C-alpha cells in the first residue's frame, strides 16, 4: 500500500518484508533437497 501511494520509506518496508520470506524459501528448498529420501518423495 505504501509503494502504491508513493510514500517515503516504502522501499525499505518492501525489502524488510521480502527478506524473511526469501530466507525461509531458500531454507525450505535446502532442507528439502538435503533430505536423504528426496528422490522417493519427488518420484511419487
pLDDT digits (tens, 9 = 90+) for 1-44: 667 778 788 888 889 999 999 999 999 999 888 888 877 766 77
How many domains does the chain contain in total?
Answer: 1
Is 32 part of a structural domain of the chain? yes
Is 31 part of a structural domain of the chain? yes
Is 2 part of a structural domain of the chain? no
Domain around 14 = 10-42
Is 18 part of a structural domain of the chain? yes
- Residue 1 to residue 14: CA distance in whole angstroms: 10
Return the pLDDT at 27.
Answer: 93
Is 35 part of a structural domain of the chain? yes
| Residues whose CB is less than 8 angstroms from the CB of residue 41 and which lie 6 or more positions away in sequence, other chains included | 35
Is 4 part of a structural domain of the chain? no
| Residues whose CB is less than 8 angstroms from the CB of residue 13 and which lie 6 or more positions away in sequence, other chains included | 2
Return the pLDDT at 16.
Answer: 93
Return the pLDDT at 32.
Answer: 85
Return the pLDDT at 21.
Answer: 97
Amino acid at each position: 500500500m505504501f509503494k502504491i501511494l508513493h510514500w517515503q520509506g516504502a522501499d525499505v518496508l518492501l525489502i524488510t518484508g521480502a527478506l524473511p520470506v526469501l530466507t525461509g524459501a531458500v531454507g525450505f528448498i535446502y532442507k528439502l533437497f538435503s533430505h536423504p529420501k528426496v528422490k522417493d518423495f519427488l518420484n511419487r
